[in-house]
């Protein structure tokens, strides 16, 4: 490129962009959802041209939170969702309902039960002992069940090695007789 001798980059005016500027991005639906207006199912992985903006006055540990606007494939109603870095997920805002996620609820329930158990153990030393005995009993039962299954498999898959060796020897002897003849 040619720069004239009197070129001064400081004279070029700076572009003033608003902080809540929206960008058009191509993204996939992060979860299964159903449009509230027409009832159309939008499956995870469906590609959309979305508008993306930074949510003002919201951040998580210095990470910006983004809002995405997509349109329903059937009725063109607007659907919005935000990033949720705290849970490494997305949160539905409006325009659609997120389909039921049994795995996520199960994980949350397990975490809640584990936390309750830990809180209980901190306050009550007898509870710690009770939980240990329950865990050891459960472990013993699991080991017994495993041993029973192993024994069952051995009974069903009982291989007679002596008979196999005898049969192999007989075949060898027959081959020798044929070779001698």
Q: Of 51, 66, 98, which residue constitutes the final position of a domain?
A: 98
Judge whether 177 lies within some domain. no
* pTM above threshold 0.75: no
Number of other CB atoms surrounding residue 77 within 10 Å: 16
Query: Is residue 51 assigned to a domain?
Result: yes
pLDDT digits (tens), the chain, 181 positions: 899 999 999 999 988 887 778 999 999 999 999 999 999 999 999 999 999 999 998 899 999 999 999 999 999 999 999 999 998 889 999 999 988 776 778 888 999 999 988 888 888 888 888 888 999 999 999 999 999 998 888 877 766 778 888 999 999 999 999 999 9
Structure tokens at 112: 């809640």
Residue 129, domain extent: 106-157
User: Both 70 and 114 in a single domain?
Assistant: no
CB 40 within 8 A of CB 99: no
Helix (H, G, I), strand (E, B) or coil at 135: helix
Residue with tokens 């003002």: 56
A 10 A CB-CB count for 115 gives 10
Q: Cα separation of 50 and 27, whole Å?
A: 7
Q: 112 and 94 in one domain?
A: no
């Amino acid at each position: 490129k040619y720069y004239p001798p009197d070129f001064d980059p400081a004279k070029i005016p700076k572009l003033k962009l608003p902080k809540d500027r929206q960008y058009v991005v191509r993204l996939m639906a992060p979860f299964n959802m159903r449009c509230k207006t027409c009832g159309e199912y939008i499956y995870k992985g469906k590609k959309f041209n979305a508008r993306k903006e930074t949510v003002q006055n919201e951040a998580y540990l210095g990470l910006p939170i983004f809002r995405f606007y997509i349109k329903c494939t059937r009725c063109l109603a607007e659907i919005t969702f935000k990033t949720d870095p705290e849970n490494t997920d997305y949160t539905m805002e409006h325009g659609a309902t997120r389909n039921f996620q049994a795995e996520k609820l199960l994980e949350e329930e397990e975490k809640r039960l584990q936390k309750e158990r830990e809180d209980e153990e901190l306050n009550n030393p007898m509870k710690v002992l009770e939980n240990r005995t329950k865990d050891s009993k459960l472990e013993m039962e699991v080991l017994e069940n495993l041993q029973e299954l192993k024994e069952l498999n051995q009974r069903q898959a009982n291989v007679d090695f002596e008979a196999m060796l005898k049969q192999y020897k007989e075949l060898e002897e027959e081959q020798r007789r044929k070779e001698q003849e």
